[in-house]
Amino acid sequence: MTLLPRPLRGRAALAIGAVAALTLGGVAVSPAVTAAAATGCAVTYTASTWQGGFSANISIKNLGDPVNGWTLGFTFPDSGQKVVQGWSATYSQTGAAVTARSMSYNGALATNASTTIGFNGSWTGANPAPTSFTLNGVTCTGSTTPGPTPTVTPPTNGTPVGINGQLRVCGVNLCNQYNRPIQLRGMSTHGLQWFAKCYNTASLDALANDWKADLLRISMYVQEDGYETNPPAFTAQVNNLVDMAEARGLYALIDFHTLTPGDPMYNLDRAKTFFAAVAARNAAKKNVVYEIANEPNGVSWATIKSYAEQVIPVIRANDPDAVVLVGTRGWSSLGVSEGGNESEVVNNPVNAANIMYTFHFYAASHTDTYRAALSRAATRIPMFVTEFGTVTYTGGGTVDLASTTTWLNLLDQYKISYANWTYSDADESSAAFRPGTCSGGTYTGTAVLTQSGAYMRDRIRTPDNFPTG
């Protein structure tokens, strides 16, 4: 059965290896910290490995004069290591020597400016980290005086953001400031144009303190009386909810909620305008994740990929560190709802670093075939379930607790983060609150919850146990 548009709807087998530690000039650098370089540049190299393959991210910081166009050079320590597919740079390899050249959108690096590139690789003998890098021929030597290994101070704020800090993608996982895989669990708003009254001080206090959630997905519809009718007002509304989430230590997932039409290119200019604004305004925050296209449908993966590769640089120009989420074909079903599967994304990933791919399901409609596709994908590419329902794809019908439980157990197994549809009092069985709740002032406890809401509250309230070591 396929995912279909509807009124008022939103729409590991891979073992993570040890993160490679990079030593520059005799200083051991922890995966999350870049050593100070004495001569022009600093590089942080992190990698997640599995049998025969690995994924690497490289952060480049220019400590010398501004450059307009750069070339990064390094040599693999083992002759069996190969670059297979890269992003955010053009790669070439001769023997063990690798060269990465800047793209048009990230070639200009001012003094102290940084950019991040990455690649997927293969290995046959061993997979050690490169130990020397050059930027435009200048060796990134690092300090010549060994010092203590940098550490991250343990958090004193016990909120999700206080514990985990700035998120990043490592291998196929979402990782925290300690480079440890984590899973975020939370709720999605309904359309802000219809249910703004549901998102206030009391309701977000309930989400953070009663539900003990980790994130709020902010669903800003573009059509259907949404953003296109008043861009400044909707942008301000999103930013206000980002601030409210931040104040409670919640991650804020900014959802550019495209659904009808299904071609994201229809909203390309709007997306560039919107994401330039919110990325510039929220760049200093650690709690923001960007979802650039909710549910592409009726178009090829190539079209979606092209859209992503035009929008992501707009975000990166202002917010280079935030995680970006890319919708997949067939209403974000990895193509399953349109007769495809995850291989189209696995074999042709978006050329960008620090990104994840989205998957949506409705438990009463989407079962084993969908679960199998997500399970396979989760061992190859980073996945994030930005929307799911306990009911049918219509947003209504009987709550299917058995299928929902099977789904959430699978997400827990792979540490796939998720947001449930929907934290609202919509008159549909997917809503968490009983109709009329948002006209009152009480959001805590179970008396105001639907069957779906009570189930999700109980599930989300279980301890996160975020790793900090």
Name the active-site residue from 246, 295, 342, 344: 295
Which residue in the list 291, 342, 387, 428 is annotated as catalytic?
387
Amino acid at 109: L
| Beta-carbon contacts of residue 465 (< 8 Å; ≥ 6 apart) | none
| 295 tagged catalytic | yes
Q: Which residues are catalytic?
A: 295, 387
